[in-house]
Amino acid sequence: MLLEFIIEVGCEEIPARYIDSTLLQLHENLVKKLQEHSLGHGVIHSYATPRRLVLVAPALEDQQVDRSELVTGPPQSAAFDAANNPTPAARGFAAKHGLAVDQLKCVQTAKGLYLGFEKRIPGKRALELLSQELPRLLGSISFPKSMRWEPTRFSFVRPIRWILCRLGDEVVPFTIAGVNADRFSYGHRVLSANSRIEVTSFESYRNQLLNHKVRFDAKDRLETIQSALTTEAAKAGARLIPDPKLLSLVVNLNEFPSVVCGTFSPDFLRLPKEVLVTVMREHQKYFSLVDARDSLVPRFLAVVDSDGTHAEQIRAGHERVLKARLADAGFFWDLDRKVKLEHRTERLDRVVFQQKLGTMLEKTQRLVTLTGFLGKRLQVTSLDEVKQAAHLCKADLITDMVKEFTDLQGVMGGLYARAEGLPDSVSDAIYEHYRPQTLEDASPETLAGAILSVADKLDSVVGAFAIGQVPTGSKDPLALRRQTLGLIKVLLDKKISISLEKIFLKSFALFKKKATRAQAETWQDVASFLKDRLRFIFKEQAFHYDEINAVVEICFDNPYDCLERLRAIASIRGSADFEAVAQGFKRIRNILLKFGLQVSAELQPIDVTLFESEEEGELAAAVQAVQPKVRKAARARDYARAFELMASLRPTIDLFFDKVLVMAEDPKIRANRLNLLRGLLQTFLNIADVSEIVPASKGA
């Protein structure tokens, strides 16, 4: 028989950021347990609010299926004596299982013939299994931070205060953290105070909870909030600044959401938009609104846990809080601007960058040198301004605004630089230099910003590796993975063609005696770290793994160049000629491998007199003809052209393999042929190792 199962774990407010992962664990663990016990469960739904975690299985089998198990006793040979009478061993075995000897049978096992029988194991009741497993299941959920609160020392994210648990018409009996499972739920703590709800089915749960002002399904809350935000924004004649992260957070901060639209004094619009939006988002979890010209309007949208009946009073309260917050921000904005960034930079000698790597002032000094180096290589016209931006870029770390809102680092520096009247190129570079924070985030728009961003990240990564602070597993306290991804992304987005090894060497040298590891050793680790990130980025850009393999080993040192080759391969790989040549290269590589020859070893001049067939001569001529063109294309970074040239060799290569036996018996002839083939490979392999390309028929 199928029964409806429902469990609701009632908690004190679970932190919003834990709710989704907790619910997922509960769901997965329940499924696992049911499967372990071979209890058919059908679909399982899960729901959560800050105060409850809910699982519902509409059709759970009430009982395990009966099964049987083979039980074996003594070997057949020891079970009967010469007269074919059961031995004491056989009789003992039968008696132990409450059977007569003639109820046993002879079974074939891997070890031979044995006396045995099929034992029938009746299925357990689901109710019994659940009451055993649920306490363990709840005890096995893990949290980033958990707590204890009662005498059994049960550990959970927040105190459990009630448990509703029913299977069909029965309560599943169990106790956890001193709480007995029962048939009651509770409504909204404030909007439906002191409500105890008897639950007879999920249907009754659903209806009653809504009546008691609880939207237990996050989807329901999300829709409610989204539609209210849209409506309120429209009423205000404004447009919502989308903030998906904030939205997913506020969904889990209430049980019965509504939205109020508040205002703040237009006087505060004198503060930068970035500051206003951050204060509203970070401190108060409010959404900001803009007008048609994208200018902030003096309003905000707050998602509140209320049914809307006292919206006016709630709105006034939120407005008052925001007013104080904005007044604080205004105070910081005014105060911070009284001290020039120049003077703040001097005081960075008191801010630690990393214990072994010294202060932020030292970092700043390295950044000035590093940006100067990068700027020169990239032929930046306003080199002094880039260096000035580097000199000032960390000064905002000791402004009150950034101490209050660390997310505004860089942004504030840029705004303060602008307020000081520094050139736009300086303030923009400072403003942008922490970008991109993620792969979705935009890279700096200005070249100066890009250079500063690269220098900043490079310095952090190289410094950490130079003192052996290499990220391992989940441990990456300096966020070096993120910084490296950011660094590469900037190079790719800004089409900056530069050698990573060269900039590494420059950066490494700046750490002088601070480095505890040798330069070569450090570079080895940094290089493989960079390669991994580069592969990751290319994968994210939907390149195929074989395309990535073809280029990364060869030219990871210049990521942008690498990307151009990758694009060329990706666009030509569909061509049959190119693919055939790539396959040919693979074949050649295998042949060379068999003879223990390095593709890249120095070539001997080809001896045309040793050619035995026309096809050899034709291939040699074709290679010779194509070589200068390929070189020219590669120099011009016209990789598509280079690959086209490669594809054009297909008929010649095909003919060669059709007609010519590479493994000639005469070692001289053979060596000459191998030499020819190596020459062919060498022509292309410093562009990309196309022998890595998997033909479409084999699936890439």
Binding site for other proteins (CB under 8 A): 12-13, 15-17, 50, 145, 147-151, 153, 158-159, 161, 178, 189-191, 193, 253-254, 284, 302, 304-306, 310, 313-314, 316-318, 320-324, 327-328, 331, 350-352, 355
The structure tokens listed for 153 are: 């020392």
What is the rounded distance in angstroms from the CA atom of residue 413 to the CA atom of residue 308?
A: 41
Three-state SS sequence of 515-554? CCCCHHHHHHHHHHHHHHHHHHHHHHCCCCHHHHHHHHHH
CB of 226 to other proteins, least distance (A): 19
Crossing angle of the two packed helices 519-540 and 559-572, in degrees rounded to 10 = 40
Choice between 349 and 553, CB closer to other proteins? 349
Between residues 514 and 567, which has the closer beta carbon with respect to other proteins?
Answer: 514
Assign residue 87 a region: left if phi > 0, alpha if psi is -120 to 50, beta otherwise?
beta
* Beta bridge partners of residue 80, listed in sequence order: 86
Residue 503 dihedral angles phi and psi, to the nearest 5°: -75, -30
d(CA 453, CA 487): 7
The structure tokens listed for 606 are 């080809």
Residues 6+ apart with CB under 8 A from 241: 277, 287, 288, 289, 290
Minimum distance, C-beta of residue 319 to other proteins, in the bound complex (Å): 9
Nearer to other proteins, 104 or 229 (CB): 229
Residue 301's contacts (CB-CB under 8 Å, 6 or more residues apart) are: 229, 232, 233, 240, 259, 260, 261, 262, 286, 287, 289
CA 270 to chain centre: 38
If the CB atoms of residues 216 and 611 are measured against other proteins, the closer one turns out to be 216
- Do residues 567 and 543 make contact, with C-beta atoms less than 8 angstroms apart? no
CA distance 234 to 676: 73
| Beta bridge pairs of residue 179 | 176
CB of 306 to other proteins, least distance (A): 5
Q: Smallest gap, in angstroms, from Cβ of residue 147 to other proteins?
A: 5
Q: 5 phi and psi, to 5 degrees?
A: -115, 135
Backbone angles phi, psi at 623, to 5 degrees: -60, -45
Cβ-based neighbour number of residue 392 at 10 Å: 26
CB of 318 to other proteins, least distance (A): 4
Based on CB atoms, which residue is closest to other proteins, 186 or 556? 186
Are the beta carbons of 259 and 302 closer than 8 angstroms? yes
- Phi, psi of 602, rounded to the nearest 5 degrees: -65, 140
- Residue 304 tokens, joined: 């509140």
- Comparing CB distances to other proteins, the nearer of 279 and 622 is 279
Shortest Cβ distance from residue 512 to other proteins (Å)?
20
Range list of H helices, 212-347: 218-235, 244-250, 273-278, 284, 311-336, 341-346
Cα–Cα distance measured from residue 308 to residue 649, given in angstroms and rounded to the nearest whole number? 75
Q: How far is the CB of 50 from other proteins (least distance, A)?
A: 8
Q: What's the rounded Cα separation, in Å, for the pair 285 and 394?
A: 27
Cis peptide preceding 151, ω within 30 of 0? no
Contact 658, 651 (CB under 8 A): no
CB 343, min distance to other proteins, A: 14
Q: How far is the CB of 433 from other proteins (least distance, A)?
A: 22
Which residue, 328 or 638, has its beta carbon nearer to other proteins? 328
Query: Looking at beta carbons only, is 327 or 601 nearer to other proteins?
Result: 327
DSSP run (H or E) holding 71: strand 67-75
Give whichever of 190 and 576 is closer to other proteins, judged by the CB atom.
190
- What would the DSSP string read from start to end of 236-258? TT-EE---HHHHHHHGGG-SSEE
Backbone angles phi, psi at 356, to 5 degrees: -85, -15
Other CB atoms within 10 Å distance of the CB of residue 199 = 20
* Closest to 129 in 3D by CA, of 33, 3, 40: 33
Residue 575 DSSP code: S
Nearer to other proteins, 105 or 148 (CB): 148
- Cβ closest to other proteins, residue 37 vs residue 315: 315
Identity of the residue, 164 or 680, whose beta carbon is nearer to other proteins in the bound complex? 164
Q: Which is nearer to other proteins, 124 or 161 (CB)?
A: 161
Q: Minimum CB separation from other proteins for residue 138, in Å?
A: 17
Q: Shortest gap between Cβ of 178 and other proteins (angstroms)?
A: 8
Tally of CA atoms within 13 A in the half-sphere of 577 that contains its CB: 12
Closer residue to other proteins (CB): 50 or 559? 50
Which is nearer to other proteins, 150 or 521 (by Cβ)?
150
Query: For residues 38 and 425, what is the distance between their CA atoms, to the nearest angstrom?
Result: 67
For residues 305 and 322, give the distance between their C-alpha atoms in angstroms, rounded to a whole number: 18
Q: Least separation, in Å, of the C-beta of 642 and other proteins?
A: 54
Supply the minimum distance, in Å, between the C-beta of residue 639 and other proteins: 50
Q: Tell the smallest beta-carbon distance from residue 316 to other proteins (Å).
A: 8
Q: How far is the CB of 358 from other proteins (least distance, A)?
A: 11
Shorter beta-carbon distance to other proteins: residue 154 or 684? 154
How far apart (Å, rounded) are the C-alpha atoms in residues 321 and 68? 68
Q: Give the span between the Cα atoms of 323 and 279, in whole angstroms.
A: 11
* Residue among 324 and 700 whose Cβ is closer to other proteins: 324
Q: DSSP string covering 17-53, please?
A: HHHHHHHHHHHHHHHHHHHHTT------EEEEETTEE
